A and B are shown apart, each in its own frame.
Chain A
Amino acid sequence: MIKRLFNYLWQLPFMVTGHLFTWLGPVISEIGSMSLFFWQVIKSIFHRPFEVREFIIQLYQVGVRSIPVVLLAGLFVGAIVSIQFHYALSQFGAGALQYLGGVTTSGLLREVAPVLVSVMIAARVGAYITAELATMKVTEQVDAVRCLGADPLRFLVVPRFLAVTIMIFILTILGLIIATAGGALSAYLLTGMGISKYFASIRSLAAAWALFNGMFKSLLFGVLLSTVSCYKGLNTDGGSEGVGRAVNSCLVTSAIAIFLADYIIARLASLTFEVAESFLFFMEI
């Protein structure tokens, strides 16, 4: 018995690395094929003719119909973030509380709004596009498009790709405004902090740099999200359960992609900020 146990323990590291590679292998190959897909989509954007009709309909489907979802989610999350920061700042004593508005808005601006809106859009839009394209693939409509002389990339993917990227940018701004309002409202209702006091501290902290940072982040999420959802949609196999699986893996991949990209940008932002600060310091501004 001991020998068997020892034998098992001896193999364990190899098994783990084996598992890691069997799990890592397909992931890397997927990232590769996704970036290839992304490059093909970018190339076919500039091919004549551009599908204006599909693009407008997708703008409506993707953007306009996601507004209620973004409003509802933004309002509540803004409130949650301001309550949590209130609790956290109260640990520092009363002095810090006056910065509640600034800290919450800045947190929302840089981090919470882009990520939240992107996760909501990933669920509401990304999964919808994957489901729609997967359904079309399973019911042979994608083959029909090719047989009728159109290129599926240009006809199906490009309109959706551009619609998602543009709409995520606009919806993030909308989400930000609603979240700030939610934060101010909950600060006023639950902790009795005056609205004007709440907004006073925003101007000093939420510099334009943070606004740019948040917007750039939402654009990047938009590109990531549309690539993943279109890729997963067109690469489906199997019948109706294939559609379900495609939607599932689209959500998972987009979630991981959003958080990974968010971390990279946060890391870059903190680096560049230090550089900018030392530069400003040097210039005595």
Chain B
Amino acid sequence: MTQRVKNPTLRVILVTLDQVFYIARMGISVRGIGRVILGFLDTLGGIVTLLVQTLLNLLRPPYRFRLMIAQAEVAGWKSLPLIGITLGFLGMIVILELHFQLSRLLHNTSLVPGVAGLLFFREFGPTVVAAMMAAKVGAGFTAEIGSMNTTDQIDALKLMGVSPVHYLAVPRFVGCMSMQVCMSIIGLFCCIAAGYLASLPEFNLQSYISIMNSYVGWPDFINLILKAVGLGWVVPIVSCHYGFRCRGGARGVGDATTRAVVTAILIIIVIDFTITAIADKLVVAAMSFL
């Protein structure tokens, strides 16, 4: 059919569309969907087994503290500028938005810092920090381990009697987990400080802090730590998983890195949802326990 079309551009479009449908049809066929589901389960299985392996290796001597500190530095110090900037802007945006919403809704904007504080503690602190860690630190781990994989360094490790999970995954897990908790707290302060800057004309420091204190209490702080830990394992484990399984060549490393970041962010969102949905019950239980 496409041969009869005279106009060259139109014919190129039709030929390409035909090619695209051909590629898409492969995806939509039963075998295609089957492959996607299997791929999803395989990834999930791989991630869970790596998590279990890492936890088991965690307790096995020799403990390589030097490596853990090195990874902590990569996960913490190097990602500080990114966390600071993004969380800072986020704080300002939230204050501006709430100001706009509440002024039109309840016509009194005196409670803006309170609501903002709630959002910072419960939502924007841990989740956005986790997402940024996935982008900066997760991509870095996958790229590093991926390129080690393509140049046979992982096989070399195995041959020298050192388990790659123990030498590569454990230090990154410990470093990244601990740094994620610290970064959540630092990110929180960036949010609050930047939020104060954005709310300046209307609030001075004293009133800003007092209103925020009246709404935010200890349960929200526990919620923050809970989420930081709950999300903390995702970045190192998912990125190491994709790094170990990375195909050969520069293209392999590129693909592995992009998939690692996307999967990490998706898992972060799903876990964040589960924690948020059952947060109230958890916090109440934690409070009664204290």
Contact = CB atoms under 8 A, between A and B. Distances in A.
B290 interface: no
A44 interface: no
Interface string B127-142: 1000110111001101
A243 B139 CA distance: 11
Contacts of A110: 97
Interface stretch (A31-39, A82-90, A161-169): A82-90
B206 interface: no
A151 B149 CA distance: 34
B266 A69 contact: yes
Given A205-B105, A244-B147, A259-B89, A128 B258 contact: yes
A81 B146 CA distance: 35
Contact of A84 (B20, B122, B143, B253): B122
B13 interface: yes
Contact of B139 (A205, A242, A247): A247
B188 interface: no
Contact of B276 (A80, A239, A240): A80
B105 A73 contact: no
B265 A243 contact: no
B16 A91 contact: no
A266 B93 contact: yes
Contacts of A266: 92-93, 96-97
Interface stretch (B79-87, B155-163, B230-238): B79-87
Interface in B13-70: 13, 15-17, 19-20, 23-24
A188 B209 CA distance: 34
Interface stretch (A2-10, A50-58, A170-178, A218-226): A50-58
B184 interface: no
A73 B86 contact: no
Interface in A229-272: 239-245, 247-248, 251-252, 255-256, 259-260, 262-263, 266-267, 269-270
B5 interface: no
A127 B101 contact: no
B139 A52 contact: no
B96 A255 contact: no
Contacts of B73: none
B182 interface: no
B93 A91 contact: no
B255 to A, nearest CB: 6
A119 B257 contact: no
A120 interface: yes
Nearest to A244: B143
B200 to A, nearest CB: 13
A181 interface: no
A64 interface: yes
B248 to A, nearest CB: 9
A248 B133 CA distance: 11
Contacts of A139: 249-250
Given A57-B20, A244-B146, A255 B135 contact: yes
B4 interface: no
B118 A87 contact: yes
B111 interface: yes
Interface in B104-120: 104-106, 111, 114-115, 118-119
A123 B265 contact: yes
B150 interface: yes
B272 A80 contact: yes
A147 B160 CA distance: 45
A113 interface: no
A240 B272 CA distance: 34
Contacts of B172: none
A263 B195 CA distance: 12
Given A80-B276, A88-B118, 10 more contacts: A56-B16, A72-B266, A76-B269, A83-B276, A88-B119, A123-B262, A131-B251, A139-B249, A240-B252, A248-B139
28 contacts: A52-B9, A53-B12, A60-B24, A76-B270, A87-B122, A92-B106, A99-B105, A102-B105, A107-B101, A119-B135, A123-B258, A123-B265, A124-B258, A124-B262, A130-B254, A131-B257, A139-B249, A205-B104, A240-B253, A241-B253, A247-B139, A248-B143, A255-B136, A259-B85, A259-B90, A259-B93, A260-B85, A262-B93
Interface of B: 9, 12-13, 15-17, 19-20, 23-24, 81-82, 85-86, 89-90, 92-93, 96-97, 99-101, 104-106, 111, 114-115, 118-119, 122-123, 127, 131-132, 134-136, 139-140, 142-144, 146-147, 150-151, 215, 249-255, 257-258, 261-262, 265-266, 269-270, 272-273, 276-277, 280
